[in-house]
A and B are shown apart, each in its own frame.
Chain A
Amino acid sequence: EVKLVESGGGLVLPGASLKLSCIVSGFTFSDYWMRWVRQAPGKGLEFIGEIKPDGSKTNYAPSMKGRFTISRDNAKNTLYLQMSSVRSEDTATYYCARRHGGYPRYYFDYWGQGVMVTVSS
């Protein structure tokens, strides 16, 4: 069974940093591109970025470049999202997801349960 489990969320002060983790099981982690998506309360889904299977390349949505860093540790089956200089607008549930399909069919076939990040003083 494929499982993705996020952790590391919580209440964080504006301007602080936070690192989210996503531990996966049930598939060969090192074979897949992995992605992060967020959802502000009551809002839609927003793509953050993705990372290549070997970790050598990352791509980010233009609006996310600069304050978010995606990394992975294939030995630990773990995906990370480093968030820096967080703002109130970063308050959201953060999901890790697996990318599936080849171009131009890319889609998200498995999602974690999500982790809530609240930015507030």
Chain B
Amino acid sequence: EIVLTQSPTTMAASPGEKVTLTCRASSSVSYMHWYQQRSGTSPKLWIYETSKLASGVPNRFSGSGSGTSYSLTINSMETEDAATYYCQQGSSYPPTFGSGTKLEIK
């Protein structure tokens, strides 16, 4: 099974700061998907097929990457972006998730 390693595990960013979260796969995958999970709620699809924003996701978010290295970037951090973000691959069975990056507001 493909192991996804997310970094950092936890980070804090100030409002307006640029943030980059990374996800590395143990083998090459075709696409990466990202989910946002706020405390006490279920995960929400956030970015799919590496770079496409899910419905309602602000355009300060973007996704990129290929092969074994992917990233989620927030152009300008806002308070509402504080959450845990998980990456997920669906190219190889079983689908697997990264362990998450907890993003906090400074």
Q: Which of B13-21, B61-69, B94-102 contacts A (4 or more CB under 8 A)?
A: B94-102
Q: Which residue of A lies closest to B31 (CB)?
A: A105
Q: Among B42, B45, B98, find the residue whose CB has the most chain A CB atoms closer than 10 A.
A: B42
Name B90's contact: one of A45, A46, A104 (CB within 8 Å).
Answer: A104
Number of interface residues of B (CB under 8 A): 27
22 contacts between A and B (CB under 8 A): A44-B86, A45-B100, A47-B94, A47-B95, A47-B96, A47-B97, A62-B1, A95-B42, A101-B48, A101-B49, A103-B90, A104-B92, A107-B33, A107-B45, A107-B49, A108-B35, A109-B45, A109-B54, A110-B45, A111-B42, A111-B45, A112-B42
- List the 8 shortest-distance A-B pairs measured between CB atoms, nearest first: A106-B90, A104-B91, A107-B33, A104-B30, A45-B97, A61-B94, A111-B42, A44-B99
